[in-house]
Each structure stands twice: as structure tokens, then as C-alpha cells.
Structure 1
Amino acid sequence: MARQSPRKPFAGRRGALPGAPGGEGWLTGQLLIAMPTMQDPRFARSVICLCAHSGEGAMGIVLNKPLDGLSFDDLLKQLDLDPVPPQRRIRLMSGGPVENGRGFVLHTEDWETEGSLKVRPGLVLTASVDILKAIAGGGGPREGFLALGYAGWGPGQLESEIQQNAWLSVPADEALLFSADPGGLWRQALAKLQVDPALLSGVAGHA
């Protein structure tokens, strides 16, 4: 997946979240698991947390694609945030191919700010630089990671992809959302469904 060099990912975007209608959406808060037959290389073996899903479309964050070439310390320097080195760090991930110079933090709900989006009970998405300040200072949410970019679908697009057997869905839990092993997350998510990847080629689209 092509990735732009991030430039002030949170600047001028205080609390603004893209196409996220909020409220109860159909698969909001669920995880999408890419089928082995996924044709789009940007999403091969990906696991995505759907942060918003409604008749207007869907928006999600990829959970298992670590970001290369940028550290949390580097990001703080770009944003002129102190302290550097920080008292605490979080992982950086490639959240998806849309607006991949823009940052979001997916995190537990023990920390929120104005404009934070509650994805489901226990899970929040924040696009404000305030959360980075809090983390760098040793505070912030108990669990979380920063994602650059997101995955987006237009009205009806995700539903069509599910009908075409592109995705499985599974309820999210903290062990999957904040896994310390992103490389193994795809298989971990399938294991929650008790599905063997080798047997998936003919399986219907969702569980």
C-alpha cells in the first residue's frame, strides 16, 4: 500500500472524524476479517475495526499493519509536542489507504476529549492532538495505538463486498483490538470464529 509521508497528521483536525455518523450502526464495533481470496492487496489478511457503519457508508481502522519508517518520538517532533523523549509511547499502525497522512488513536474509553467518537462500550476513536500530549506526558488511555489513514466504504459498498465473500465479521475484544502480535492477528481473529483458514475458500460471507 502506498503511503504518503505524514505531515502534521492532527493539525487543523481537532476532533474531526471522517464520515463517522456515530450512533448505532449495523456492524459498528465489529471486526472485519479479510478472506484468503481478498483480491485487493491493500487489505490482504487484514483485520479492521469498524468505527462507523450506517446507510451512509462505513469507516474503519486496520489493526494489523505496523507503520514502517516513523516512530512515536518522530511524530511528536513533527507536531512540536513535548516531552521528547516521551514518558510513554504507543504503537503506530497503517490504518488504511484513505487520507494516510492523517492520524487517529483507537483506544480504551478511560480517556476522552471533545470530539472523541465512542465506537462501542469500552472503545473510543480520537483524532485530537490532545491525546498525544497526554500519552507523551505519561497519561492517556490504558490501551491504544495511533493509526495513519483509514479504510472507507461508500453507501452499500461494504455490504456488497460481504455478499461477495470478501469479509467475515467477529465481535471485537481487547485481546484482538490491542494485540501485541499484529503479525498473528489475522489467524487469532479467525480462531475466535473457530475457522481454519485452509477451509475458507468456499465459506459464505459473514458469521
Structure 2
Amino acid sequence: MAKQTKSLHTNLHDDATQSAPMTSRHKFQVKSEDDNNLELNLTNHFLIAMPSMMDPVFGGTVIYLCEHSPRGAMGMVINRPIELTVAGLFDRIDLKLEIIPDSHPIGKRPVIFGGPVQDDRGFVLHTPVGAYSSSLKVTDEIAFTTSRDVLEAVAAGDGPEQVLISVGYAGWGAGQLEQEILANGWLTVAADARILFDLPLEERFAAAIKLLGIDPLMLAAEAGHA
């Protein structure tokens, strides 16, 4: 399962004055035990946990992959809320929510458990990309930002149009995610921004599976007979 790999998140959280991390878009190959090659570039894809996923940290999750390269991969769980609202998070980090809650629902939204790496820090997945101090541009429309200025913009009411705020993220070392996929730990599918930002959290797992043309109930039934 995803590990808290120091080599990966050190790059992600360098000082905000440094360039955004891991911007390459390489394709590479992983050799399985039967010598078949698997070529992967899963940036801007969903990882969907298979029923066989025994790790309780990731069971039932959908992860949006923000970066995937020969050095590893990182992403954010997008469907597991924690018992903390955005307004509560802002209180904890001494950030005043200046927008009026009745006119803007952001303060009432739940914060997401993004993954086990640096789960004491806040991270923001958002669209449009904008110009913030430390962002990883995932696509022309979506960015993953690690700097406080994006939260300040959200609190002031002039942040990105759509945001997903998490504590922690998921990270894999070189080759680790590929081996988990070969072991049938994850399904993969190109990401859908509607699922990422618009759907209620509890609907995202089923919606992501349906992108593959799979009935979620059938998948659950297969797991029950495994």
C-alpha cells in the first residue's frame, strides 16, 4: 500500500519559492513476473480500490493521481471526509473566514482525508489553476497547491472556483504503485472533473467505477464470492 516515502514528499513540500515538484510526464515500463510489460502514465487518473484491498486506510477509496513518474506517484483521496469542516480547519490555522457562510457554503464543507503522508498539513486540489506560491499543475485546468496563499484566497472569497481541501496525501515510491496495480489492488480510469469537484462524496466511488462500465453492485458480489 502507499507508504510515507520521504524522497517523494520532500520534493512536494520544499520552500514555496522553489519550483513546483515532479512536473515530468514520462511513460515507463514495469515488468511483471510473467515478463509482460506494463506501460503506465496515470497522471490525471482515478485509482479505485478493489474489493480485495485489505488496507483499511485505502479500502473503499478513490484517489486522484496528481503526478506519476519513474520517481513515484502522489495523489489525494477524494471520497473520505473527516470530522472537520473547512471553517474548523481555518480556525485551527488562525485563518479568518471572511466570506458570509449563508452566501457561500465553503465553510460548511467537510475536509477530506487525503492520505497518510503529512496528515497534519492541509492541501488543496482546485480549478482553475491560478497563480499560487507552490502549486503542481496537473492539467491545464487542475492544480494541487501546498502553500497557504490558496487557503487565504479561499477564506477571503476570491479563491479558485472549485476546491477540494484535504489533510494529508497518498504517496508511492518508485515502482510501488505499479506493483500494487499488477497485484489487482487498484482499478484505473481517466479522471472526470465532475466527479472530482461536483458529486457528493458518498457518490464518488460508484461514479468512478461506472466510468469503466462496471456495475458497483456486481463488483461487490464478485468480492463476496472470492
Q: TM-score range by the shorter chain?
A: 0.7 to 0.9
Picking from 34, 56, 65, the partner of 1:50 is 65
What is the CA–CA distance in structure 1 between the aligned matches of 2:186 and 2:135, rounded to whole Å? 27
Rg larger in structure = 2
- Runs of 4+ aligned residues of structure 1 deviating over 6 Å after TM superposition are none
2:104 equivalent to 1:76? no
What residue ranges of structure 1 are gaps of 5+ in the alignment?
1-11, 203-207
Higher helix share: 2
8 Å contact kept, 1:36–1:44: yes
Amino acid at match of 2:133: E
RMSD of aligned C-alpha atoms? 2.4
What is the CA–CA distance in structure 1 between the aligned matches of 2:139 and 2:47, rounded to whole Å? 15
Equivalent residues, number: 189
1:67 equivalent in structure 2:
82
1:21 equivalent in structure 2:
22
Picking from 196, 199, 208, the partner of 1:189 is 208
What is the CA–CA distance in structure 2 between the aligned matches of 1:104 and 1:188, rounded to whole Å? 24
Structure 2 counterparts to residues 1-207 of structure 1, below 5 A: 15=16, 20-25=21-26, 26-68=41-83, 70-84=84-98, 88=104, 89=106, 91=109, 92-200=111-219, 201=222
What residue ranges of structure 2 are gaps of 5+ in the alignment?
1-12, 27-40
Q: What's the % identity of the aligned pairs?
A: 41
Partner deviation per Cα, 1:41-89 (whole Å, 9 max, x = no partner):
1111110011111111111100000121x22222222222234566642
8 Å contact kept, 1:13–1:127: no
TM-score of the two chains, using structure 2 as the length reference: 0.76
